[in-house]
Structures are given as C-alpha cells and as structure tokens.
Amino acid sequence: MYFRFFIQPAVALFFAIRAGIRDAKRNQTPYLWRWVTTKGKGKEIASEGWKDYGKIFILATVLDIIYQLILIYGAKKQASFYPLESIIVGFLLSFIPYILIRGPLSRVIKLFMRKNKPNA
C-alpha cells in the first residue's frame, strides 16, 4: 500500500495542472497569492479552492483510511485506527503538491501565452 505515496500526490498534481491552466486562461492571479492578498473576498476564493482541492483531499483521506484498515484487519500489523492520522496524511500528500504546482504553473503558462500572442 505504499503506492498511496505516489497516487495521492499524482492526483493532486493532475488537478493542480488543470486549475493552473484555468487560472492562466482567465488571466487570474495565482490562487494562493490571490487568497492571501485579496481583502474581503477570502471566503469566496477559499470556496473556489475547496471545489478543486476538496476532491483531492477526500480521496487522499479515504485512501489512507483504507490503508489503515488493511493494516488492522488484513496484515494485523496495527492495533488500532487513527482518524487524525488519516486527515493529516491526506492533507500533506495532497495539499502540499497541489499548492506548490498550481501557482508556479499558472505563471509559466501565462508567460508562454504572452510570448505566443501575435502583436496587434
């Protein structure tokens, strides 16, 4: 079940790439920077982020719960279930790659879009 250390970040990267491309096409400021610097629209921006990130977080948490249950009932290597651990691992394996990729990718795509734009 160590594949979760590859699957969860890979899924996060996939969604981050989609969101970064969308941000660049809409000519928006990268997500994290927009959320930190925009006054008065924090809830709205956080809601937008949760729409993208929520799926990833839930998937990562469910994968970790399955992993723990396999260890408890299948392999008998673990004595009890730790729900907070599932939430923390789900967060770390999904949010960190998502945030680290979405903003920089959006900036790079915007840069290429400007270079490829024909001069009017």
Burial class (CB in 10 A: 0-12, 13-18, 19+), 35: middle
89, 110, 108, 101: which is closest to 17 by C-alpha?
101
- pLDDT score at 119: 64
Q: What is the pLDDT of residues 40-94, one digit of tens each?
A: 887 888 888 888 888 888 888 888 888 888 877 777 776 778 788 888 988 888 8
Q: What is the pLDDT of residues 17-31, one digit of tens each?
A: 998 898 888 888 888
Total domain count for the chain? 1
- pLDDT score at 48: 82
Written as six digits, the tokens of 101 are 């990729």
120 pLDDT higher than 60 = no
**Containing structural domain, residue 45:** 4-116
